[in-house]
Chains A and B, each alone.
Chain A
Amino acid sequence: MSASTAKANVEQLREKLRTIRKGIITSTTAAGSGHPTSSLSAAEMTTALFFAGFLRFDPKNPSWPQRDRFILSKGHAAPLLYAVMAEAGYFPASELNTLRKLGSPLEGHPNLRRLPGIEASTGSLGQGLSLGVGHALAVKLDRFDSNVFVLLGDGEVGEGQVWEAVMSAAKYKLDNLIAIVDQNGYQQTGATKEVLDLTPLAPKFEAFGWVSQEIEGNSLENCIAALQKAVQAKGSGKPQVIISKTVKGYPISHLLGNDPNHHGKPLTAEQATKVLEFLETTTA
């Protein structure tokens, strides 16, 4: 790929990112509940994963056995997953505004029984990486070269089960398993520094036999580079983790008042209007 086409591709990705961010805002505001800031912090990473060629998937054949898997372990960021899936063509974008409504498959947290393309029913934090280990083992048994990506929160990694999964991934040399920790610095009741400070995270994963990268994660370019490195680790026998340092609510946190966490709160209609205008033009 020449430098200029790579650049053009990033511009296309940026437009997708814009659509996804707007989908997160409009769907949660229409629902009157949900977790927009938890969704936004990982939007660049998830956009890069789905649309920069890292995740092989087929919306017309969601359970295609050779597909790559994406597990949203931090299930409360479902609005992000839904906005990405709409952009990927799993369902029409107009359905995003049925989020959390009775009868809609777009439940408050992902439900794999109701929406084809969802790999795991999540929402009780701490369980996604174990499921990822299972998927990674299964595709190895089937001799597929599929990768398994799991997105976790930096509060979520306080669950002991996450570390049990970390240990089994190393035991089974799952170099097709890529964990991404969305390190936005906040969990429900406050800053992770105050609630349960697990930084530095990278050495903890390394101590268990994983290979880590630390990046500034609110950048498509950085996410692409990190994902590239992680998928190239195939054959190393080592599971990969990307510690993605982000801002919760990026790039609109400055428009949300003085609570930098703004956890689990949708934007009001007025806030949403302002934010959507900002998202329309921002180059962030």
Chain B
Amino acid sequence: MNWKMGKATREAFGQALAALGADYPDIVVVDGDVGNSTRTELFGKKYPERFFNVGIAESNMVGVAGGLASSGKRAWLSSFAAFVMCNAYDQLRMSIAFPNLDVKVVGTHAGISIGEDGPSQMGIEDVSLACSLPNFTVIVPADEVSMTAAVQAVAKIRTPVYLRAGRPNVPIVYPDGCSFEIGKAIPLREGSDVTVIANGLMVAAALQAAETLAGMGVQTRVLDMHTVKPLDDAAVLKAARETGKIVVAEEHLLHGGLGSVVAMSVARQHPVPMRFVGINDTFAESGTPEGLLQKYGLTADAIVQKVRELVGK
């Protein structure tokens, strides 16, 4: 397929957040010494008085955001997905989720596509952890267009959100804009033989896989399931009923991610055969983003393989 390469979703996030600053004078942003990586520095440069860099101290960062939100501010905070989710989980639980505060948590450098920095910097469990926080909405946009729309959409709600962003530039999946609604899957391609449900950078891979599969006579439906929680059960039910087979693809550990959540929905509503593309219970390693996606099976080819297993071709 002929993709137009777009920005990284972290860049789109940083730009969208900076742009929101004018509409929402009560937005405040907390950083943990990584604003030049997460791109919240764009907001910080525009609104220095509303930007707080607390240093390398993620649990404090989360608590400070909780305090700001408790006092009525619209608090945003951002760090690498691995550090904010794993280093500050109890603070996310006790100081944000439990009191149900208006804090938008943005985890950047998610997945293995960060590449060379290696496993210590790769958030591969963040979606699972975020889904385990009651009151949290969990969103994994696929490209710059949907990230921008997601930032604007979550700014309107006053409850906790986890938004996942990636490091590398990714193809534009929505060249003509995207009608983004929290909790509503976006159908990207129609098909009656099988459905591929994906999010993040696996959406582009799913579309590419669908193209290959079409050449084999397999008509593949592709859904961008950007919102993992609350899940669009209706779209899952429709896919299960109408295509009878589902493959889920995500740049995340298989345990507890989108695949687990969709599988529960399928099991509850309309069981059909399923396959899963994701990271299989392992840490990754250093390497190029492409090399790692290949090695750990997060490619269009991997999706094609799983679909072929299901349709018997």
Contact = CB atoms under 8 A, between A and B. Distances in A.
Contact of A189 (B34, B118, B291): B34
B116 A155 contact: no
Interface string A19-54: 000000000000111100000000000000000000
B287 A109 contact: no
B119 interface: yes
Given A102-B285, A195-B33, A123 B118 contact: yes
Between B57, B87, B119, B291, the greatest number of chain A beta carbons within 10 A of the residue's beta carbon is seen for B57
Contacts of A32: 116
B120 A75 contact: yes
A251 interface: no
B224 interface: no
Contact of B33 (A102, A106, A114, A187): A187
Given A102-B287, A158-B56, 4 more contacts: A102-B286, A103-B287, A108-B120, A124-B87
B56 A156 contact: yes
Given A159-B56, A187-B33, A187-B55, A109 B295 contact: no
A66 to B, nearest CB: 29
A189 B53 contact: yes
Nearest to B56: A158
B212 interface: no
Nearest to A106: B286
B163 interface: no
A102 B291 contact: yes
B112 to A, nearest CB: 11
Nearest to A102: B287
B286 A155 contact: no
B57 A109 contact: no
A33 B35 CA distance: 19
Contacts of A101: 286-287
Contacts of A239: none
Contacts of A100: 116-118, 286-287
Interface of A: 31-34, 75, 100-104, 106-109, 111, 114, 121-126, 155-156, 158-160, 187-189, 195-196
Given A124-B87, A159-B56, A108 B116 contact: yes
B120 A121 contact: yes
Q: When A and B form their complex, which 4 residue pairs have the shortest distance between CB atoms, in order from nearest? A: A123-B120, A196-B55, A102-B287, A158-B55
Interface of B: 31, 33-37, 41, 53-60, 82-83, 86-87, 115-121, 285-288, 291-292, 295
Contacts of A107: 118-119, 285-286
A109 B284 CA distance: 12
A102 B292 CA distance: 8
B36 A189 contact: yes
30 contacts: A31-B116, A32-B116, A33-B117, A100-B117, A100-B287, A101-B286, A101-B287, A102-B288, A106-B286, A107-B119, A107-B286, A109-B117, A109-B118, A109-B121, A111-B285, A121-B120, A122-B120, A124-B86, A124-B120, A126-B56, A158-B54, A158-B55, A158-B57, A159-B58, A160-B59, A160-B60, A187-B55, A189-B33, A189-B35, A195-B55
Contacts of B55: 155, 158, 187, 195-196
A108 B167 CA distance: 16
A107 B82 CA distance: 17
Given A155-B55, A160-B57, A196-B55, A124 B83 contact: yes
A159 B56 CA distance: 6
Contacts of A124: 82-83, 86-87, 120-121
A75 B82 CA distance: 15
A104 B36 contact: no
Contacts of A126: 56, 87
A158 B120 CA distance: 19
Contacts of A187: 33, 55-56
